[in-house]
Structure 1
Amino acid sequence: MTTATPGRMPALYLSHGAPPLADDPLWPGQLAAWSAELPRPTAILMVSAHWEEAPLALGATSTVPLVYDFWGFPQHYYEVTYAAPGAPALAESVRKLLRAPGTPVQDIPDRGLDHGAYVPLVEMFPGADIPVLQVSMPTLDPKQLLEIGRRLAPLRDEGVLIVGSGFFTHNLRALSQDGRVTSVMAEFDDWGHRALEAQDLDALLDFERKAPAGRLAHPRTEHFAPLFVTLGAAHEELATQRSVIDGFWMGLAKRSLQFG
């Protein structure tokens, strides 16, 4: 069995929730307990379901305002701050690893962290004292995202925590205020868990066809897509995967994973 390499940071995929996650009686504590078990990162590289931009873009490398990319919520959710330091050195490393002929990397220096990045970070690293860089997803193609993750993998040996932030199931029609879970959400979550345990990368890459009701669990695939960046970054350590958080939140699967 492949084991984690000493000194290498884990790679994470987490379900990030919406801004009301902060008010949940269970989930914030689960995220906080998770981060307390991790080595302290030198920096955090976030890939969020909420930033698609091609060619691949690097966000702010200094502290800029957050992106409140949601509508219709109570005012206090728009007053959350997370003034983490920028990560210019990490940005330069990402450029070197990803830039190649025909594969440009662009900079958007005023693009702050969106809620897919800062909502979990507020719970996991509330001190906002670790440099954070967010990069965009230039595509939703799982194989291309897997390759991006593989090219970013060396950062783990430099103490960088690579985090793919999405939602293990994401169909807003399945949202339930009373917590009722539809069969579609439950079946996809179970299938995904079993595929990960079996290290069945081929099935995961073809999840829209091979998972039960894959297109219903993810009518659009942007919330599952960050998983493939994480899988790429952890490609030598898939056997180390474990579900740190599972269960459901408002009817959606919040399964969150650690590799290494």
Structure 2
Amino acid sequence: MTDPLNPAIPAGAYDAFLPGALTRAAAQRPWTPADGPLPALYLSHGAPPLLDDGPWLRQLSDWALSLPKPKAIVIVSAHWEDAPLMLSAPAAHTPLVYDFGGFHRRYYQMRYDTPDATGLAARIAAMMPDTEPLHQHPTRGLDHGAWIPLMAMYPLADIPVLQMSMPTHEPQRLLALGRRLAPLRDEGILVIGSGFMVHGLPYITRDMMLHGTVPAWSSDFDTWAADALARGDVDELAAYATRAPGMPYAHPTPEHYLPIFITLGTAQNPEQPARTVIDGYMVGLAKRSFQLA
């Protein structure tokens, strides 16, 4: 049986994926104002095992190529919870954050050298109210909730990217933050919430990983979320802690779920039905990913 956390060739699926992905990315049409606002995205990011999953890599690539190429990207990841609100370092080639442990050394040597994002940082700073200061971090790079999925979606690494911290666990405050970012979509800037629809990793056993077992708490939570997203029921989604089946196993801590509210807030109408782009499971955890106009 194949161990998804210890592949025979670390990131071998990414090596096989990359040549074709680069060719497709080079032909992608850039965004223009005639395209209208880009959608708001929520994706499940997968950590290093994503780089060993060829079908998932292609799904993310196909998703990116279904959209015009953005002028820039703002991403809020589950792996940067910090207040006051912060932005990652905007300089070109800022080193990545390898915020995971126990994997093959190759994953700690990978690079995603994006261009300078100073102009984007200034634009975001101008959108924030004086009552909520924005701190520009001088050295922090993109963490794996940002650079790993972006390596699949935009492998040329030629788009300015900034990561924003998640300053609160309160859904309403995250929705408000998303609303502040919404005008960026009209400028060809892609806003992404990066988490994992189910992230009960402490409750996934090695036997589950090897046999592809999906626990009921994972599938039940995913079904509940899919139904609420299809109905545009933001209040239901915000009441996940008491309303969602599978809790607290699905999310023993909430940080991988909460970026969903950045995406909902950034959408033109958060109560519109979401379009699921990727579903299924990784080591028993639901990886549902969706977009909103």
Q: In structure 1, which of residues 25, 28, 35 is the aligned counterpart of residue 57 of structure 2? A: 28
Are 2:161 and 1:129 aligned? no
Trace 1:25-64 onto structure 2 (pairs within 5 A): 25-63=54-92, 64=94
Q: For residues 249 and 170 of structure 1, what CA distance do their matches in structure 2 show? A: 10
1:62-92 deviation line (CA, Å, top 9, x unaligned): 1210000011110111111000113111111
Structure-1 residue corresponding to 2:253:
220
Equivalenced residues, count: 255
Q: For residues 202 and 102 of structure 2, what CA distance do their matches in structure 1 show? A: 17
Are 2:133 and 1:98 aligned? no
SS in 2 for 1:143: helix
1:75-114 deviation line (CA, Å, top 9, x unaligned): 111111000113111111211112322x111110211000
Trace 1:231-250 onto structure 2 (pairs within 5 A): 231-236=264-269, 238-239=271-272, 241-250=274-283
Large movers: runs of 4+ above 3 Å = none
Q: Shift of residue 177 of structure 1?
A: 1.6
Q: Label 1:129 to 1:240 Cα distance change in 2 as closer, same or farther (>3 A).
A: farther
SS in 2 for 1:192: helix
Structure-2 residue corresponding to 1:163:
192
Q: In structure 2, which of residues 91, 107, 112 is the aligned counterpart of residue 82 of structure 1? A: 112
% identical aligned pairs: 51
1:159-189 deviation line (CA, Å, top 9, x unaligned): 0000000000001124332221000000000
Q: For residues 210 and 240 of structure 1, what CA distance do their matches in structure 2 show? A: 19
Higher relative contact order (CA 8 A, sep 6+): 1
Trace 1:123-202 onto structure 2 (pairs within 5 A): 123-175=152-204, 176-178=208-210, 179-202=212-235
Gaps of at least 5 residues in structure 1 are none
TM-score of the two chains, using structure 1 as the length reference = 0.95
Would the aligned equivalents of 2:75 and 2:146 in 1 still touch at CA under 8 Å?
yes
Q: For residues 19 and 62 of structure 1, what CA distance do their matches in structure 2 show? A: 25
Q: For residues 215 and 84 of structure 1, what CA distance do their matches in structure 2 show? A: 37
Deviates more, 1:206-215 or 1:232-241: 232-241
Q: Label 1:237 to 1:184 Cα distance change in 2 as closer, same or farther (>3 A).
A: closer
**Please, what is the CA RMSD of the aligned residues?**
1.3
Would the aligned equivalents of 1:246 and 1:256 in 2 still touch at CA under 8 Å?
yes
TM-score of the two chains, using structure 2 as the length reference = 0.84
Would the aligned equivalents of 1:59 and 1:112 in 2 still touch at CA under 8 Å?
yes
State the one-letter code of the partner of 1:215: P
Structure-1 residue corresponding to 2:43:
14
Structure-2 residue corresponding to 1:65:
95
Are 2:135 and 1:120 aligned? no
Q: Shift of residue 43 of structure 1?
A: 0.2
Deviates more, 1:6-15 or 1:180-189: 6-15
Please identify the structure whose Cα radius of gyration is greater.
Answer: 2
Q: For residues 253 and 86 of structure 1, what CA distance do their matches in structure 2 show? A: 34
State the one-letter code of the partner of 1:187: D
1:207-241 deviation line (CA, Å, top 9, x unaligned): 11111123221110000011100000004264252
Would the aligned equivalents of 1:60 and 1:86 in 2 still touch at CA under 8 Å?
no
1:16-42 deviation line (CA, Å, top 9, x unaligned): 001121111311111111111011101
Q: For residues 208 and 100 of structure 1, what CA distance do their matches in structure 2 show? A: 32
Would the aligned equivalents of 2:199 and 2:250 in 1 still touch at CA under 8 Å?
yes
Would the aligned equivalents of 2:234 and 2:270 in 1 still touch at CA under 8 Å?
no
SS in 2 for 1:90: helix
